[in-house]
A = this chain, B = another copy of it.
């Protein structure tokens, strides 16, 4: 546990602990000597810090059983300990809550998906439901034995990450909603202690998830595009999230693609969402199945499944509407390709099950409107993380924060050695 005295020496130790953690993550399994060579730290410093990381459940010696510690035998290999820590990600979107827990090597421990109409519920009831879902997850036997690093919440809108406030989420109709404090308080009321809570944009977290664990993992210049009622972009430039001067970067849903085009949920005309958001797609593919009024809750997932079934069976209207939406997506993807020159653009969310019918028209529009010479191979890909991407990113970003020394270390599982 952090002793509260953030002295210079303490800060150096914290920074070196992160350095070692990152070195082992990159090279595991690897020896203490390799870690020393990779980090430039002395062997004795590495030995002492590795001991602490083992005691805190962050590293282990390969093959060692839980709790066992075989100090310093030469040649013993280190790896990240996947047994004692968990990080939780939670996405709140227009029509669902998704929760994902990962271990320290970012393997999924479990995920839950719940239909939920966040718009109808409003911020207060949504916080309540989120806290209840989190409490359920924390009580799960898969997590009960683990130290929880924190909860990373993903929201489809502009977020002030410093304060954990949702500035503007048009599709949720949330404005200036403080989320971190109320969620943390609700967890505390349920006796779940002080779990750190972070809040960030869903698309940005989706990009983190793709970069760390999607099928294009490690691609440094990557854009992740959310496919929900809203459309957002998470941009990585050289592996680093592009946030912009105020942290509001990545907004593409209201890109004006069609002057005089259809009315968007935001009140403007011809936004990308009004042409290629999932509600716009469903109005084109399965108008007969939709309720009057705005689409919400479980109806969205049902209509997406029906769309995929009709398209698969050759339904001309469904295929035509998907091709039309794919073309608008491609025109927007070409804007991203021209401006950012990324290596990949990953379509996520509900775009994934619809990708077989969206992608051909999308790629054609990208090719038609991209100026740079073709790169050989597709630019636009369907995510393999589905509706779990943003929640996974929320969890992964906590693991990353730990690696970078930006989170307090979990408590020692055994007392510090004396002397």
**Residues of chain A whose beta carbon lies under 8 Å from any beta carbon of chain B:** 158, 167-168, 170, 220-221, 233, 235, 237, 242-259, 266, 268, 331, 334-336, 338-343, 368-369, 371-373, 375
Contacts and interface: CB of A to CB of B under 8 A. Distances in A.
A372 B246 contact: yes
B256 A244 contact: no
A235 B249 CA distance: 13
Nearest to A330: B256
Contact of A341 (B244, B339, B341, B342): B244
Contact of A342 (B244, B247, B343): B244
A372 B375 CA distance: 33
A339 B371 contact: no
B251 A338 contact: yes
Contact of A338 (B220, B254, B334, B343): B254
A233 B339 contact: yes
Contact of A371 (B220, B247, B254): B254
A200 B340 CA distance: 16
Nearest to A259: B258
A364 B242 CA distance: 26
Contacts of A371: 158, 168, 170, 248, 251, 253-254, 266
Contact of A331 (B243, B251, B259, B338): B259
B339 A249 contact: yes
Contacts of A158: 371-373
A76 B372 CA distance: 53
A235 B368 contact: no
11 contacts: A167-B372, A235-B339, A237-B242, A246-B341, A251-B371, A252-B335, A252-B338, A256-B334, A256-B335, A266-B371, A268-B369
Contacts of A372: 158, 167-168, 246, 248, 251
Contacts of A235: 339
B256 A369 contact: yes
A168 B341 CA distance: 15
A171 to B, nearest CB: 11
Nearest to A243: B341
Contacts of A242: 237, 242, 340
Contacts of A342: 244-245
Contacts of A250: 339
Contacts of A168: 371-373
B338 A339 contact: no
Contacts of A243: 341
A401 to B, nearest CB: 19
B340 A244 contact: yes
B249 A340 contact: yes
Contacts of A254: 338, 369, 371
Contacts of A375: 246
A354 B342 CA distance: 33
Nearest to A175: B373
Nearest to A271: B369
B221 A244 contact: yes
A295 B340 CA distance: 30
Contacts of A341: 243-249, 251
A339 B245 contact: no
A255 B373 contact: no
Contacts of A251: 338-339, 341, 371-372
Given A221-B245, A244-B221, A331-B259, A339 B369 contact: no
B255 A338 contact: yes
A281 to B, nearest CB: 18
